[in-house]
Structure 1
Amino acid sequence: MLGVLAGFATIGIIIGLGFLLAQLKILDVTAQGVLSRTAFYVASPALMITVLGRTDIHRLLSANLIASLGSVAVAATAAVLLARLVWRRTAGDTVIAGFCSAYVNAGNLGLPIAAYALGDAALIAPMLLAQLLVLQPSGLTILDGIAHTPHPGTSRGRLFWIRLSRPFRNPLAVGSLVGLALALTGITLPVAINAPLTLVGGMAVPSMLLAYGISLRLGGRPGGSEPPVQVASLVAIKLLLQPVAAYLIGAYLVGLEGHDLLAVTVIAALPTAQNVFTFAMRYDRGVLLARDVIFVATILSVPAIIVITWLLT
């Protein structure tokens, strides 16, 4: 349990630093944008290459992956249906709502929890794969399509190739695919390439957290910008529906039990990732929705994970 608390403490301290720097007027909204763009275009792709590239492919392609994919699909579908059909949010906001309910904090929080609370950092790999190669490319392709509307005179053939190539022009998707290729082939990058990638990738999480902290200070009071019922619903999907789906799929569909079942359930109950705020900032869609859901989900995920651990051990 100390690993869980340490992971949350690390996140809180860096977010608090961003808040303090904004309060002292050392960083402002411009700095928030620079940090978000740096994380999106440079640091996060490098992180994906290094993290996925060194992951054991056998741990990725396991029954845990099916449970993780299933939980992501259930949570994202529920959020999209609510956002689009009930709340009548725009297409861009709907994608961000889906991310809020299904994109878990598998990096800066999931890794320490998997390593220290669950005893094996590799347990986070299936969820990481489900998000980076399925959820993230799907959502970002839609957001790219909204942001880059083709010229009315564009031919059907050119339009087809534009849509087909769009996922491969997204830096995060490209980084994920390169990392997966390295894991599948067993190729190890030379030190001259791997060292700078690792160094740059280390900027990703701090940049996201600092930008988020700045937003908490300069973007209005959390909970006061978006309808509370929508924030509460997305948080409930994230912290209740997704782990329940992971447990049911794991236990009754793919036959997980014991420590593996605990792992997929706890990982599904992790709060919404800071990446979602970066995506919202990058595409200027659902920024305050992402910020508020991340804020509430991060706080409430602590008791949620403690309860799950207590019930399943």
Structure 2
Amino acid sequence: MLNLPELSSRYLNYCQCQKNLNAKTLKAYSIDISQFILFMSNTDGMLGKVNLSEYFASLHQACKPKTVKRKIASIKAFCAWMEYEEIIEQNPFNKLNVKFREPHLLPRTMSLDVIELFLKTAYQELSDSTSSAYMHNTSLRNVAVLELLFSTGIRVSELCSLKPENINLINKTILIYGKGSKERIIQIGNEEVLSALINYKAAYQEQIQDTGYLFINRLGCPLSEQSVRFMIRRLAEKAGIPAHITPHMFRHSFATLLLEEDVDIRYIQQLLGHSSITTTQIYTHVSTRKQKDILALKHPRNRVVLR
């Protein structure tokens, strides 16, 4: 019988050392495989079609479709590794149909008016913070974070992992390490965004040098994703924005608003760091304002004269 806990440890070590997967992916794999091993401990231990089918059925009852898809992918990769290492003769997934229909969820976006209100609130907070050096520096950082989220469409995880050497304020470029260790370079095209980054970097120069990260929290440590989420929620409340705003909504809005400005979707794909155009195409379903403009201004019915 397979010693799944030991094999799991070997597999995760392989993912870390040979595949060079990042810490978040390794953590997700570890959780997913541990849950699978726990399920298998209450079965006959056979890594076959019956047990896998029952496990996947239990996932569908307990988790959202997107989570189920990820957990199945984790187990599938684990089994593929065991087959490659000749630990098992045949991958049990070869006899399984694990495809299922996911609900089509459109990304949540913000209008340009809401983003403008957000930025105005952050800049007003910066303007009001001159009496306290700590508050002033914190506000400088918050402005720089918000400007970068919207101007580049960067993921919050990518933003928090930025190093000072990743940003070149002279050439106005940012080097971003995305999912799967993919790199992309994005230009900073707006002078106010550039100014916000210059002012922030000047205020935090020592802390940045000490930590080796671009964005710093109040304790002098790298800024966490949770801190960015909390800051955005707080500013949304202060701005009187009733919707629940997340960092990823800046990314969705970045893509959607560019699409509405007739930017080619393949350029947007590159800016977002999507490996497949299919991922980017979801934004074509969101841009209702653009659809309205097309039908109102460019539909051939407008050239039909009945009198």
What TM-score comes out, normalization by structure 1 length?
A: 0.25
User: Of Structure 1 and Structure 2, which has the larger fraction of its residues in helix?
Assistant: 1
What TM-score comes out, normalization by structure 2 length?
A: 0.26
Q: Which has the larger radius of gyration?
A: 2
